[in-house]
Structure 1
């Protein structure tokens, strides 16, 4: 028989015995009170043996308040409950209200599993600590974004005679205008004025005449006061220009602007445009030696990238296409401009694609995943996007998530597919930095990998002194590269999906330029002081937390939908009730009844 049934039967039997004894007692004084006390005593005894349990929404669980850099002192005073932080300095600074320092957030949460809801105040947590918040709901209360440079981008490695672009966003909440100045080699290179109250875009350009490493300054001036002076490190190199072949089925504005940009950037270029079925015209720019428009193995061997539209690929002869395919497998990069007129057109290069219905939105906003560069809106009513497979890597997408450019390995080479056909609209809208960024990244992603490594990617972009730096390296083969950071050997880690890609982690370094050696090829990267680019770091941290926590909370809400948490009424309440009732039954015949007698 169930224990609860047995306990209930015994308690009822006890109650009947007590009630019978009270009724049969000679002294009938306080009979009603004694019967009531007997009932309360037995019920409390039963509820101590069989506790009352109830269910509540899981959202009513324990909460922990976590403050981070940027939180306002007034906000700290208004927070109810205990305060914690992972910032040692923040714990020392707040003396008006106790703030407990947490040296290891992951360990703290593991030993306190009851904390299922976390309130984060300030600029937010770095990405390493955000990963420890899985399976917990997080409420983020961001601090106000500070004045200063919220966004800044520039090409950190430029070719000799190429242009340096510096663009970004400045946040100004004051009632005074701010002058922005780009300064290099002791002289003002470019400047603009930011109006009062709001966020304003800026764009500067310069063509440095000096080779090697240099550091410009991006300065914000209000009246006679210098608000910010942030470093713009870059390196000007004399590099061997990439050899690009452009195959066009017909002349259009996209090819015209691309041809001019490739020429100005110093690329060696052959552009072949089909005139009729068996006729074409060929232009050669920045090229020495014999020039031929033939597409043979020798021409593809010299090339680093081929840019072609889908129609022209379909028009190539069988021998030309076979030679191109063989060259791609040997390391040549291929960029395909997808056909916009027919979603179901046959293609020699298999790539699923689809069209969406016409929209009234005539502005396309692009992003490179993992890159915080802010593209200017592209005046274009984009209707066609790409579907991705397991072997596809997304290179460019719309802010809504629709894919525009994908990358797929093909032997030692790569094939990029793109549905963007009118990037020249950036140039017509005077948005050259966005055009430059797009085509630089696309060609870099597709180009033939050289044995020497002249470029790399650094994460985070504004890595500070003694902070962890992740350096991503690409090379032609899958051999383990020899990597030295500031003369210290580090062990590389291979990308399982792209075997020619490796990354290393390093904490070594000093403020300013730091050395990087890969297979005895020397390069450099820059580490920033802790006070440099503080508003920008705060803005990026806020945005990182908003995006990550929104996705995390959505997943937690879906998992916990309808989920209840069981709680129990404290047995001490019933123990006290039992104690008072039993005490009354014991005291009444000894004291109260005697007084009545």
Structure 2
């Protein structure tokens, strides 16, 4: 505790003289009282009352170690223990604020603008951020301040998550991520709820770790699925369910030409399945030498006896067996290769393990068949591809791996069953499985559909993208800036409609590097589905609630802070050591002493 003479001295001297006279008067009165038994108590109470008046007027000050070059910023999820440790290290007088939190306690000042730190602390050089961190969009406001992160321990919940925000009807949709728990909780089930029920689940024996769930949407529209975690035993695990917004669009119909050398169950089941999925199918089947049969589904009849440029211009995929491809003339082979290189059509070949690959196959040297041993060729083997659980089929042959090939379907031993090869702008796919219809006979249409959808997606020509409006933030939040990027649209403002019905116009600015891009900033005020419109182009995006998906958001903030630290490290000046200042005592101490002394005098007089 320190005490310094205030300026000006005149009020100080007047109060000092008044207190001295009051002390003398009260002491004389206490000594002259007839009752001498409580003389000492009266004297002490008189001095306490006078001391209280003095402290009320001129309280002493105490030394306080503080830092004028460093400050603390508290964000959601900060640890009070970390705050106390930093205050002991930097000094109890170090300034700290709570950043943009409406739930901050009344005794903690709030800060909503990082640029205001320069005005409040002109000599500030280092900023300690506690908790989940600062949004990436707010970091440029720091200028050349050095940022020091003090993240809190990760809470129990989904640490990472990823899923396609748009998918097609009938195609497998996958969500992947990882679950984090603070302590051992035993077995935990991660569950996917979609379309009004539980659709998939995975067990985590250790109570945490990576997971992968999938679901096949069957209806178009926008949906919000749910991801949750539940402990197998009553371990007290608390994980808030997280939303999974998804837009399901209609599958893009393909124009498919099937070429079969002879009737077979494989082509019969395949043409019926493709037609049910909405694809346009043209089938040409050889019956005998010089005699063929044609069939058309979901499209009018046309001439398909020979491959011509006109035929391939309205064909997306040519699916053929080895015998039909071998029978093509030189002119037809040239037309097919030209369509492949121009990206008009793709070629899917069902290889015949009993014969060599046709010479007409583009990039034939890269596709080399390897026959399976007799025992392996007769027993069904497990097949694996990206979107489905293992399925079994007879594999008479496999493909030799090559650098130019991309694996599509493999066996359990990583042998290639189907692979693709790029030819110009088109794709060639070779599959060694000639019979997949048994899956339909076994009542497994989902496996059958997933297999052929996987192959057709790999071989179909790329669809030219149209005008788009896309958010550039994976986790949009209310009251946070969101960049919207348009592609192929005029440089006119777009209209964004919130779930509440309110609309806002967003001005666009053309990107300096990519002229087809234009960007604008939108500030959502509520969570839920938002509609962005520009002319006839409409897009939907989802804004998450402030308490949803905090784990991935914290990861992004920490990564942004690390990048900012690396960029500003070279411009940082050395920090100045903490200084010492004084802080006056609270005047309530003097008021309390005065009440105590005056109360004792009054009580003693009444006794």
TM-score, length-scaled by structure 1: 0.49
TM-score, length-scaled by structure 2: 0.48
